[in-house]
Amino acid sequence: MARAISKLAPEWWDYTTLDSEILNDAAALTAKDLLELSRPGFKVCIYDTVEEFYTAEALEYVEAWRKATPDNPVGVCGPIGPTEQLPLVARIVNAIGLSLRDAHFWGMDEWVENGKTVSPRHPLSFAKCDREMCFDRIMPKLRMPAKNMHFPTGDLAAYTRSYDQVKCLLMQGGQGEIKHWAFNDPPKREGAYADAPPSPTEFRKRAARLVDLHPVTIIQNARTSGGGNVAMVPTRAATVGPVETWKSAKVSIWHPGHHDNPFGMRLTALMIAKRIPDSSVPMSLLADHPNVQFNYLRRGIGEVAVDMH
């Protein structure tokens, strides 16, 4: 049976092209149901307070970096979004005197304009945000060497190779409204993908690369990072890919409730738990990753119900 046409952008694939049964099942999930979706390889956690939520997120960085040694350097691939944990990471590192000499960090993505990744001077630069909210706040004697920081700019093949040179213990991020991690957006509905999106196996072969962004992603980033000013948001980006994601020991996704909506936060959890990978919902491909954790702020879970405003 032919797949539905997207209600969001007819020229693209996205979650609105899924079978209605999956959509209805996701909408019916309660917070208790979300917890019960946990299975081997997929863990669901719910935090009762915002303080506990972001502290737990920050501690994931610290716990990974504490395992780094000269003989066994390890690292973390980090966000953008949520970012509230980043200053907490710096505070904890400073408080416990954790040297990051042997630790590594990978930036998850960066904007692209005129065919090139933007410089850290761009107001929306993710590298700029990482440095200002976290790394520049760490005491100089504890800071990570510049050579240990890897951003998806310039030579993306070298960025991909770095995941073979150093073990990424944790890939941490959030979920966008188009159900992506990083900027792994669903593809355009054209050419070989006019009638069906790429198979999960095909999509998983994609490494760090330059991508066109789904219109929903552009609108969301204007809303969350630019006060709604869509004109300032680039339409392309460089992103970490599934190849690097599957080289990471753990993928941890954080849902505070203001990046994606109550429906979206349920849909991807259901598809991962029930092993229903579909590249129109890129996050669902994590159904095949061996170690995924979804983290929810309880008050952000909300309900999928009519509430007119």
| pLDDT, mean of residues 202-215 | 98
- Residue 151: its pLDDT value, please? 97
274-296 per-position pLDDT tens digit: 999 999 999 999 999 999 999 99
Domain boundaries, the chain: 15-300
Q: Which two structure tokens, joined as six digits, stand for 39?
A: 């299975």
Tell me: pLDDT of 40 over 90. yes
For the chain, state the CA radius of gyration: 19
Strands 149-150 and 236-239: unpaired
Tell me: pLDDT of 1 over 80. no
175-187 per-position pLDDT tens digit: 999 999 999 999 9
Phi, psi of 109 (to 5 degrees): -165, 170
User: What does the alpha-carbon distance between residue 21 and residue 175 come to, in Å, rounded to a whole number?
Assistant: 22
pLDDT-based confidence at residue 309 (cuts at 50, 70, 90): confident
User: What does the alpha-carbon distance between residue 192 and residue 235 come to, in Å, rounded to a whole number?
Assistant: 22
Tell me: pLDDT of 53 over 90. yes
pLDDT-based confidence at residue 224 (cuts at 50, 70, 90): confident
CB proximity list for 88: less than 8 A, separation 6 or greater: 54, 55, 57, 58
CA distances to 62, 171, 265, 301, 303 from 29, in Å: 33, 26, 10, 10, 9
- Residue 63: its pLDDT value, please? 99
CB 197 within 8 A of CB 280: yes
63-101 per-position pLDDT tens digit: 999 999 999 999 999 987 889 999 999 999 999 999 999
The domain 15-300 having CATH identifier 3.40.50.1360: the answer here is: yes
User: What does the alpha-carbon distance between residue 306 and residue 263 come to, in Å, rounded to a whole number?
Assistant: 12
| pLDDT, mean of residues 20-37 | 98
Tell me: pLDDT of 195 over 90. yes
Phi, psi of 61 (to 5 degrees): -60, -55
* Cα 161 versus chain centre, distance: 20
| pLDDT, mean of residues 238-248 | 99
Question: What is the average pLDDT score of the chain?
Answer: 97
Strands 209-212 and 74-78: unpaired
Sign of CA pseudo-dihedral 153, 135, 247, 199: negative
